[in-house]
A = this chain, B = another copy of it.
Amino acid sequence: MPIIESIPNVSEGRRADVIERLANAIRSTPGVRLLDYSADASHNRSVFTLAGDAAGVRAAILALFAVAVEAIDLRTHSGEHPRLGAVDVVPFVPIEGVTMADCVALAKDVGAAIAERFAVPVYLYEEASTNAARKNLEDIRRGEFEGLAAKMASPGWTPDFGPTRPHETAGASVVGARMPLIAYNINLDTDRLDVAKKIAAAIRHSSGGLRYVKAMGVMLEDRRLAQVSMNLTNYEKTPIFRVFDLVKREAERYGVSILESEVVGLVPSAALIRSAEYYLQLDRFGDDQLLEKKLSQG
């Protein structure tokens, strides 16, 4: 049974009734499960995590759009988080028995359906991107809803699907395919924010570090601890253990040690199994040696 995960981000984090209608649109779709959802009032944004086969995930995203396009008006929407559309971003993530290519195909199929059914322009991003300048979500979203009409009229910003002008109330949506993202933080045994910032700069891709790491230094005010806060965007190519070891080594330069690390939210078990293999120097280990995997196959 193939499993695709999708994590739509919707520009509504305050009206509980709308958030419930969005959740119910997913819940009432056969072939998918709503695994988790949370709303952030200051961001005025909610994030839904759902999983199922391609047909189920497709139907659930379209059902979500129907509610969002009807209930959300970006002209009166404000929040701390940047956004371009009522349904802002829709990534499809391969989990089990599907390839990245399957998720790219699904993103294109769903993107075309969104444009046709709701007259919302769609940009493809990440692995589904058809244009190197429009691979990165931040690049597509720059200017936000307020700057969207001007942006869409400028060269290179014709959407992949749908009208060449923003939807009046729902803006545009960004749809694509990517690897599972791991939110991973390392707390340093210091209150020196500058150290966390220097380490973040050393390890993140944008300033010369590891290819699939986004990182920033932040302060945990209540605990007086500096934290390296990260997103790992491809744990197969840039594994957790390499990030941990590199942060540890960089911290040593400042005489700082690691207090603890944390995974926020969900993590594919493979990301941790690979870490165990690394530290235990496990040779020729195969996932078919995992008891649970063997049991689930029969």
A: residues with CB less than 8 A from B are: 3, 5, 33, 35-36, 51, 95-96, 180, 187, 240-241, 244, 258-263, 265-269, 272-273, 275-277, 279-285, 289-295, 298
Q: Which of A51, A272, A275, A280 has the most CB of B within 10 A?
A: A280
* A-B contact sample (4 more), CB < 8 A, given A261-B282, A262-B283: A240-B276, A262-B284, A268-B291, A276-B279
Which B residues are in CB contact (< 8 Å) with A275? 275-276, 279-280
19 cross-chain CB contacts under 8 A: A5-B291, A33-B295, A35-B298, A51-B295, A95-B295, A96-B292, A180-B291, A260-B283, A262-B282, A262-B283, A262-B285, A263-B289, A265-B289, A266-B291, A266-B294, A267-B290, A267-B291, A273-B273, A276-B279
Q: In the complex, are the beta carbons of A298 and B262 less than 8 A apart?
A: no
Q: How far is the CB of A245 from chain B (nearest CB, A)?
A: 9
Q: Which residues of chain B come closer than 8 Å to A290, judged between CB atoms?
A: 266-269, 272
Q: Is the CB of A268 within 8 A of B292?
A: yes
Whether B294 and A281, one on each chain, are in contact in the complex, defined by CB atoms closer than 8 angstroms, is no
Contact A269 B266 (CB under 8 A): no
Q: When A267-B289, A267-B290, A295-B3 are in contact, do A261 and B276 touch as well, CB less than 8 Å?
A: no
In the bound complex, do residue A282 and residue B260 qualify as a contact, i.e. CB atoms below 8 Å apart?
A: yes
A27 to chain B, nearest CB (A): 11
CB distance from A292 to the nearest CB of B (A): 5
| Residue pair A295, B262 in contact (C-beta under 8 Å) | no
Q: Are B260 and A291 in contact (CB under 8 A)?
A: no
Whether the Cβ atoms of B263 and A285 lie closer than 8 Å is: yes
A277 touches B282 (CB 8 A): no
Q: Is the CB of A292 within 8 A of B272?
A: no
| A276 cross-chain contacts in B, Cβ below 8 A | 240-241, 272-273, 275-276, 279
Which residue of B is nearest A186, CB measured? B281
Chain B residues with CB below 8 A from A268, complex form: 290-292
Question: Which residues does chain B contribute within 8 Å of A279, judged by CB atoms?
Answer: 241, 244, 275-276, 279
Q: Which residues from chain B contact A272 at a C-beta distance below 8 Å? A: 272-273, 276-277, 280, 290
Q: Name the B residues within 8 Å of A187 (CB-CB).
A: 283
| Nearest Cβ on chain B to A177's Cβ, whole angstroms | 17
Question: Are A273 and B280 touching (Cβ within 8 A)?
Answer: no
Cα–Cα distance between A293 and B266 once the two chains are bound (Å):
10
Kindly list chain B residues whose C-beta atoms are within 8 Å of the C-beta of A281.
Answer: 244, 258-261
What is the minimal beta-carbon distance from A33 to any residue of chain B, in angstroms? 5
Chain B's closest residue to A243 (CB) is B280
- Min CB distance A169 to B, Å, is 34
